[in-house]
Amino acid sequence: MQKSSRLLKLIILALLGTISLLLFFLNFPLPFLPPYLKIDFSEVPALIAALIFSPIAGVIVVAIKNMLYLVVSGAGDPIGVTANFLAGIMFIVPVSILYHKYKGVKSIISGLATGTIIMAVGMSVLNYLVILPAYAWFMGWGDMTESAKWIAVIGGVLPFNIIKGIIVGMLFVPLFIKMRRWIEQKRASLAIK
């Protein structure tokens, strides 16, 4: 019985990871930000997994999405994929932790706000210290100047992650309200097995 429950969980996570990949391809740029920063809704299936199971399940869905993206796109850019994975973790884990602790719509909203702040600040710091210098090296641009990194972070990364968190949150809250009973039933039925 334990094996079939674990298998079912893996199947659900793989399915949500695949849906996440499809949503990742449905993206759009924001008119006033750099065109390589695109909004997508691929965190939604990971949020659902994190709410049904645990924060780790959400992380697994984000990992599946990024691994599938590397395979499907043949992207020779591991830096962008790594950045997307880290941003997803920073966004999803706080929502899941607050939901599992307090349960309810208020915990989802405060989790989304917390996740947005952590993702925006965390990705800004990571871009400044690691991601932008790694991109510059990877693309053969030489060292990035401090001012170029500041401009990229303040003019692109920070506002992008705040806007993305708000847009995904505005989509997810009504979706959660509609799916709340189903999510709670799945949590209960999968916990019993």
The pLDDT tens digits for 45-77 are 999 999 999 999 999 999 999 999 988 887 667
Mean pLDDT of 17-25: 94
pTM here is 0.89
pLDDT, residue 193, reads: 47
Q: Which amino acid type is present at position 53?
A: F
What's the whole-number average pLDDT of the chain? 89
Whole-number Å distance between alpha carbons of 190 and 185: 8
Say which amino acid occupies 129. L
Q: Using 50, 70 and 90 to split pLDDT, how confident is the model at 115?
A: very high
For position 172, what pLDDT does the model report? 95
Contact 43, 30 (CB under 8 A): no
**Beta strand ranges found along the chain (DSSP E):** 28-29, 38-39
